[in-house]
Every structure is written in structure tokens, then in C-alpha cells.
Amino acid sequence: MKTTVLLSHARHPVSDRPQLSRLEAQAIALAAEVDEAPSGLHAGRNETGVVAALGHGLTALDRLDLADTTDPLSALAAFLTRQRFDLILAGRRGEGGHETGLLPYRLAAILGLPILADAVAITPGAAVETLVVDQAMAKGARRRVTIRLPAIVTVHPLAPPPRPFAYGPMRRGTIRRHPVDGSANAADLDTAEERPHRLRPKLMRQSAGQAAGANLYVDPTPEEAARLILAYLEANGIRRYGPLNDR
């Protein structure tokens, strides 16, 4: 199985020094379960932090020579299309400070690959070109899913811890630096709409057997129903707009 791990430009939250993201180090540990020689992929000119990935289990690191201010989506998609990996692993989001966590999903849309989020364990499937993934769910639940390769999988923090760091393998690991055509970077393969943030009203949450407050009202009059609804909105901090404000 040909596997790669997407490596981001992570920074330490206190010292602000470049470092390897813990989630991506956990992704390397998962990759090593299905691939004897997993590689890593990083887009950027600074490899100070990501080179540590070679000491956690990667045998090679592909680095795309891309300015840190450039959107890496197009360059990553082009490289992954050429290399034809069976499995692409990534963390849930980067640790540089401004990441949205959307990059794996945008890559999946461009490459036409299935994506599965929050993996905590992966094993080869019984059928050819399949993978069995244990997926973390809400409240500690787990779900086992079989997916067909090639695919993109993101890793959950509850995945097994990273493999211990070893200095020797980091020194022996291969770093392959790839130049990137600047004109290709300028043409983004995906578009995203940016809109200003707008505060939204709180949603009404209704428990079983409750209509307003802790009581259940059966067949109230229209006036009583309106009063109960308004009381509920006021109690939950939901603003009223229009003529009701004048009453």
C-alpha cells in the first residue's frame, strides 16, 4: 500500500517555534500499520519542524517548494494526482494558528476521492483495495467502517500516541524537494466564498415531553400559546425583531 501523510507548518503554542504536529505524528503511527515505508508531504519552504517526521516513522519526505503565503491546495492536488497514493492521511486541522481544517475535504473534492474523518485505528480490509477504519464518535463511541481505496482519512486525537522519536532514522531519511510552477499555484483549482460573520439566534431545544419550560401544555388557546413562546424566547436570550419589540 502506497501511503503518504500530509504535514503542516505547525508551531509550538508557547515558544512559536516550528514543530511537528502531534496529530500528524499520530497519523504516521497509523500509516506504519499498513505501509512498511510511508512517506510525508509538505508544501512550504521551511522544513525545520516537519523533518522530525522522519524520526517518528517516515522513510521519506516530499517537500513542495512553495511560499508560506501561497495557498497550497493546487500544488498538493497536482502532486497527489501524479503520485497516485492509495491512502492519504492527515490531521483534523493544522496547528499554525489560522487553519480551518478544510484542506483534506477540498483535496478530496478535487481528486474525486472518498474521505473519512476521525480515525483512531486502521487495518487492511479482507477484500483487495479496502481498508477497515475505526472511527471516533460522540460520547466515546466507536464505529467500524470499510472504505475502498484510494481514500483520504483524517486522524482523531484519541488515536494511539506517536511512535518514539529516533534521531538516527531522521538523519537517514530521504528529503525530496520539488520545484513548483508559480503559474500553476496562482490558478486555484477550487473556489470558496468569503462572507462577514453574522451572529445567529440561539436554537430552541425541546426535550421529550416538554413544550415550554418544564411543563407540557395541551390545546392552549392561541393567546396562551403566544405568551408561552414569547416567554421562552426571552428566557433563552433570543431577540425579537419587528413590531413585537414595540409591544
SS3 label, residue 91: strand
Residue 93 has a pLDDT of: 73
Residue 229 CB partners (closer than 8 Å, separation 6+): 212
Residue 191 has a pLDDT of: 53
Pick from 155, 189, 194, 207: which is nearest to 33 by CA? 155
Residue 57 has a pLDDT of: 93
| CATH of the structural domain 3-186, one choice from 3.40.50.10810, 3.30.390.30, 3.40.50.620, 3.40.50.2300 | 3.40.50.620
The beta strand positions in the chain, using DSSP E, are 3-7, 10-11, 18-19, 39-43, 60-65, 87-91, 115-124, 130-136, 142-148, 151-155, 174-179
Whether 151 shows a pLDDT value over 80: the answer reads yes
Residue 176 has a pLDDT of: 93
45: buried, middle or exposed (CB in 10 Å: 19+, 13-18, 0-12)?
middle
Residue 98 has a pLDDT of: 61
Band of pLDDT at residue 85, cut at 50, 70 and 90: very high
Residue 239 has a pLDDT of: 61
The model's pLDDT over 205-247, given as tens digits with 9 standing for 90+, comes to: 554 444 444 566 777 888 888 888 888 888 777 765 555 454 4
pTM of full prediction above 0.75:
no
Residue 232 CB partners (closer than 8 Å, separation 6+): 204, 212, 213
Whether 51 shows a pLDDT value over 70: the answer reads yes
Residue 12 has a pLDDT of: 79
The model's pLDDT over 93-149, given as tens digits with 9 standing for 90+, comes to: 766 656 678 899 999 999 999 999 999 999 999 888 999 999 999 888 899 999 999
Residue 74 has a pLDDT of: 92
The model's pLDDT over 165-206, given as tens digits with 9 standing for 90+, comes to: 999 989 889 999 998 875 444 444 445 566 776 766 655 555
- Cell numbers representing residue 26 in the block: 499520530
Pick from 23, 20, 199: which is nearest to 101 by CA? 23
Name the more confident of 78 and 195.
Answer: 78
Residue 212 has a pLDDT of: 44
> What residue type is assigned to position 246 of the chain?
D
The model's pLDDT over 3-50, given as tens digits with 9 standing for 90+, comes to: 999 998 888 777 878 889 999 999 999 999 999 999 999 998 888 889
Domain definitions of the chain by residue range: 3-186, 199-247
Residue 202 has a pLDDT of: 57
In a 13 Å sphere around the CA of 15, the CA atoms on its Cβ side amount to: 4
